[in-house]
Amino acid sequence: MPDPAPYQRIKDTLLERVHSGLWQPGDSIPGEQQLAVDFNCARSTVHRALRELAEEGVLERKRKTGTRVAYPTGRSLALDISLVEDEIKATGASYQYQLLERKLAPLPPTVAAHLNRAPGEEALHLLCLHYADRHPYQLEDRWIDPQTVPEALEEGFGQIGPNPWLLRNVPWTEAEHVISADLATGTVASALGLKEGEPVLIVERRTWNAKGPVTTVRFHHPGRTHRLRSAFAPR
């Protein structure tokens, strides 16, 4: 796969600074001239990266005040891609992580459609359990596309979960969340310590970057204890 164009590398780096929280909504960012120095490139290269990020709603550019990270709008209301460790610790509970399964496996038809791949193609499958005070809090069932993220094949994920690893190493440009409820069965019931038929809250997420689909994941939570919260601000 050819290396991305210089402006795309700059764009991906700036996106990572926004999505990691290094740059918050409303923050001013360095000007074109400073970024050109930082990235050792022409100012026109930086200009293209900033222009595309502004067109995508990530940045807001004004002649007199410079460039700022845009606030989310009502039209693009979305859940943050947050870390479950932070979520658990915010409640005062201790956090523990367990990798249950890591393997290259053929894509089931539904997952293949989510990743825009053919059924039977191989992808990295991860099954992880997150605990709050040693009680099951979230079961993470994730597939990572090795064509977009080949470096994931080198990571064991025994010490770090796939979500923080991806946020740290793979900038994303687009995400989709779907929230649903279901009844616990099989692996989900067993992992979360639920009885068959107890309610579970499911958050499905897909992310993409300029190279293609990054990951698709289903987060399962015990329905009787879990609440979903999203914060947003008017533009």
What is the torsional sign of CA 187, 193, 196, 200? negative
The letter for the amino acid at 152 is A
| Rounded mean pLDDT for each run of 10 residues along the chain, 235 residues in total | 78 86 86 93 94 87 82 49 86 95 96 92 98 96 96 96 92 85 94 95 90 94 74 46
Residue boundaries of the structural domains of the chain: 6-71, 84-222
- The fourth-level CATH superfamily of domain 84-222 is Chorismate lyase-like (3.40.1410.10)
Q: Which CATH number fits domain 6-71: 2.60.120.10, 1.10.10.10, 1.10.4190.10, 1.10.760.10?
A: 1.10.10.10
Report the sign of the C-alpha dihedral through residues 3, 49, 231, 203, in that order.
negative
Strands (E), 25-121: 59-62, 66-69, 95-106
- pTM for this predicted structure: 0.66
pLDDT at 3: 66
Q: What is the pLDDT of residue 21?
A: 77
Residues in contact with 196: Cβ distance below 8 Å, sequence separation at least 6, in sequence order: 183, 184, 185, 189
Q: Is the separation of the CB atoms in 36 and 45 below 8 Å?
A: yes
> Do 194 and 113 meet the contact criterion of CB atoms below 8 Å apart?
no
Return all residues near 86 (Cβ < 8 A) that are at least 6 apart: none
- How high is the pLDDT of residue 209? 85
